[in-house]
Structure 1
Amino acid sequence: MKKLMKTTSVVALTFAFVGEAAATEWNVSVWGKRRAFTEHVEKLAELVAEKTGGEFTMNVSYGGLSKNRENLDGISIGAFEMAQFCAGYHPDKNRVVTVLELPFLGVSNLEEEVAVSNAVYAHPAATEEMAQWNAKLLMTSPMPQYNIVGTGEPRDTLEKMQGMRVRATGGLGAAFEAAGAVPTSVTATEAYQAMESGVVDTVAFAQHAHLSFGTINQADWWTANLNPGTVNCPVVVNIDAYEALSDEERDALDSSVPEALDHYLANYGELLKRWDEVLEEKGVEKVEIDQSVIDEFRAKAADPAREAWIADMEAQGIPGQELYDLVVKTLADKRGS
């Protein structure tokens, strides 16, 4: 009898262990703190857990797994299963999606940003390039057009931007450089200190980041309508981890992406609605740039940057013209619908 009980206990423990082992747990690497920029990641984790009855969970880590510039490297070696990164942090590693960072693309809202990102992410060139990092593009982190905060006199003409030290990455950095400014690509988490110490005069961010990283607290002014472009920050998953999911888990993940993005857009929309209140509360002047200045900026930055990017990509065997045309067509289709 004692032997039977012992055998039964071992079998029970074995089944319990198997049941426990069957649960899937992913680690997700982001940075900073929870904010509008990460709400779709948080919502995705919530939805996946709900749809799988808690059998597929995600642990979202804010800087505990990797530095933000090293998230793609971490994905490539399987250090974690999901991560967020920004193309401008390492444009040589994610050349295809940098088309979305070209200045003055004409994207006017977050819904359009989602549309053009989805189109580029689905292009075979993007899939192939990310596969080199064992990464699968899952969803974008749509952000509005960047604008700059600064101290002292507003930099509201190109003459005043001459020599301006601005935190701006990727295509935005190139745009400001074309206007005579001096871009630096310090990370988002380093921007406040760079501004406080005088390493930069101005910082280009979307609204949520000016709040989250404290640059708005250093600012005397904010440009309301410069809108030179934005950065593209994909969320990717490790291909091996994705393929190891059960059909149910994979369906839970894939089907949750549109819901997570809808949540992100709604949440960000609320932030934009109260942005003027934030400026007033913090005593930051809202600066409207004259249209003639914006036109001059676009002439200096947009066409040369686009042509240089296309030529550079084509020289590397990447269909630069095709990718740019895809963005233009997607925007037209989105507005037509």
Structure 2
Amino acid sequence: MNKYLGRVVVGLVVSSFASQAFATEWNVSVWGKRRAFTEHVEKLAELVSEKTNGEFTFNISYGGLSNNRENLDGISIGAFEMAQFCAGYHRDKNPSITVLELPFLGVETLEDERRISQAIYEHPAVIEDLARWNAVLLMPSPLPQYNFVGVGEAPETLAEFEGLSVRATGGIGAAMETVGAVPTSMSATEVRQALDSGVVKAVSFAPHAHMSFGTVESGTWWTTNLNPGTVNCPVVVNSDALDALSDEHREALMGSIDEALDHYIDYYENNTMKAWGPLLEEKEIQQVTFSDAEIAAFREAAAAPAAQAWIEENNARGLPGQELFDLVTSLVAEE
């Protein structure tokens, strides 16, 4: 081999090693299947790869890396670099963000859910709370108000929820207790079997999840306007993995969040919500609408007691419970 050719070969080998050294792949733990709920994660992966010419990529796993209730634990030990979870799955592990799951907060749009969640995520107490798990809050998964798909005879009044076993997490569960329902917290992947077997008679979800997890396949009724609240399901990253990124890769990640969320909201509104009404009609699911008076009484019975209990409980934890609640309510008032 002549000297010139030798230098070319050595240069190519060095270049190859350098390329491999700068390549970054993050494992991302989500669950279920690709749906509206994960579109921002998918879009973020696409944008980051594009901006780094394929040097920074995501391996998005739908249930292959962890159980959805254990995603925060996986983040804490660095089992994977990014994950999605819902605060209500383990309220004691992330109490600060459960303020966003209180019933009847009055958030009406996905854009407002996004704005308010992002503001709460930036609060120092919230940052510190999640840091206990080596987690950095990256972006929310804005969801509309939850309602119930159920089986059996449809309730004509809220009083008919008395004794009814329902799947309802976080603040929604607390709200349903005020009308006599018996809430149980289970992950999304468990609800279809629970509904089919009679463990629960009704399931609270946002529309995308009712479609994705099959409750509309066996359900016979749907509440159109109960709207007790929603759940907060952030996407987080492992703090060590985030710190280890090069400046270029970090900028590609953080600089893509807004576009990913824009895509998510557009997809939810123009795909999921447009399909929901026709699907209810197709499945001949009875749509139950409660009177304004009943909804007002429900709100009065559930909202203030749940908020006060949350504030007291989290003040006792050493969190600024009143401050976080007041921040949410002030942000809602800005809508």
Q: TM-score range by the shorter chain?
A: over 0.9
Equivalent in the alignment of 1:332: 333
CA distance in 2: counterparts of 1:255 and 1:7, whole angstroms:
39
Equivalent in the alignment of 2:124: 124
- The answer on whether the counterparts of 2:29 and 2:62 sit within 8 Å (CA) in structure 1 is yes
- The answer on whether the counterparts of 2:114 and 2:140 sit within 8 Å (CA) in structure 1 is yes
Q: Does 1:139 align with 2:139?
A: yes
Q: Does 1:88 align with 2:88?
A: yes
Equivalent in the alignment of 1:290: 291
Q: Secondary structure at the match of 1:274?
A: helix
CA distance in 2: counterparts of 1:182 and 1:67, whole angstroms:
25
TM-score, structure 1 normalization? 0.96
Measure how far apart 1:126 and its partner are. 0.7
Q: Deviations over 1:196-222 (max 9, x none)?
A: 000000000000000000001111110
- The answer on whether the counterparts of 1:172 and 1:230 sit within 8 Å (CA) in structure 2 is yes
Equivalent in the alignment of 2:153: 153
CA distance in 2: counterparts of 1:115 and 1:331, whole angstroms:
9
Q: Deviations over 1:215-239 (max 9, x none)?
A: 0111111001110000000000011
Q: 56-65 or 289-298, which moves further after superposition?
A: 289-298
Measure how far apart 1:159 and its partner are. 1.7
- The answer on whether the counterparts of 2:40 and 2:264 sit within 8 Å (CA) in structure 1 is yes
Measure how far apart 1:295 and its partner are. 1.5
Pairs within 5 Å for 1:151-230 = 151-230=151-230
- The answer on whether the counterparts of 1:105 and 1:229 sit within 8 Å (CA) in structure 2 is yes
CA distance in 2: counterparts of 1:147 and 1:155, whole angstroms:
13
CA distance in 2: counterparts of 1:4 and 1:70, whole angstroms:
56
Query: Which AA in structure 2 matches 1:150?
Result: G
Query: What is the aligned-residue identity percentage?
Result: 63
Pairs within 5 Å for 1:1-337 = 1=1, 9=9, 12-270=12-270, 271-333=272-334, 335=335
Q: 147-156 or 2-11, which moves further after superposition?
A: 2-11
Measure how far apart 1:10 and its partner are. 5.3
Query: Which AA in structure 1 matches 2:304?
Result: D
TM-score, structure 2 normalization? 0.96
Q: Deviations over 1:151-183 (max 9, x none)?
A: 122224232011110001111111111221111
CA distance in 1: counterparts of 2:294 and 2:153, whole angstroms:
16
CA distance in 1: counterparts of 2:91 and 2:285, whole angstroms:
33
CA distance in 1: counterparts of 2:142 and 2:177, whole angstroms:
24
CA distance in 2: counterparts of 1:54 and 1:2, whole angstroms:
34
- The answer on whether the counterparts of 2:152 and 2:201 sit within 8 Å (CA) in structure 1 is no
Measure how far apart 1:12 and its partner are. 3.5
CA distance in 2: counterparts of 1:212 and 1:122, whole angstroms:
31
Query: Which AA in structure 1 matches 2:245?
Result: L
The change in CA–CA distance for 1:7 and 1:52 in structure 2 (over 3 A counts) is: closer
- The answer on whether the counterparts of 1:115 and 1:331 sit within 8 Å (CA) in structure 2 is no
Gaps of 5+ in 2: none
Q: 274-283 or 34-43, which moves further after superposition?
A: 274-283
CA distance in 1: counterparts of 2:5 and 2:47, whole angstroms:
41
Q: Secondary structure at the match of 2:83?
A: strand
Query: Which AA in structure 1 matches 2:322?
Result: Q
The change in CA–CA distance for 1:255 and 1:194 in structure 2 (over 3 A counts) is: same
- The answer on whether the counterparts of 1:149 and 1:221 sit within 8 Å (CA) in structure 2 is yes
RMSD: 1.5
Q: Deviations over 1:218-262 (max 9, x none)?
A: 111100111000000000001111111111111111111010010
Runs of 4+ in structure 1 deviating by more than 4 angstroms, as ranges, are 1-11
Measure how far apart 1:294 and its partner are. 1.0
Q: Deviations over 1:53-92 (max 9, x none)?
A: 1111111110000000000000111111100000000000
Query: Which AA in structure 2 matches 1:324?
Result: F
CA distance in 2: counterparts of 1:323 and 1:281, whole angstroms:
43
CA distance in 1: counterparts of 2:156 and 2:41, whole angstroms:
36
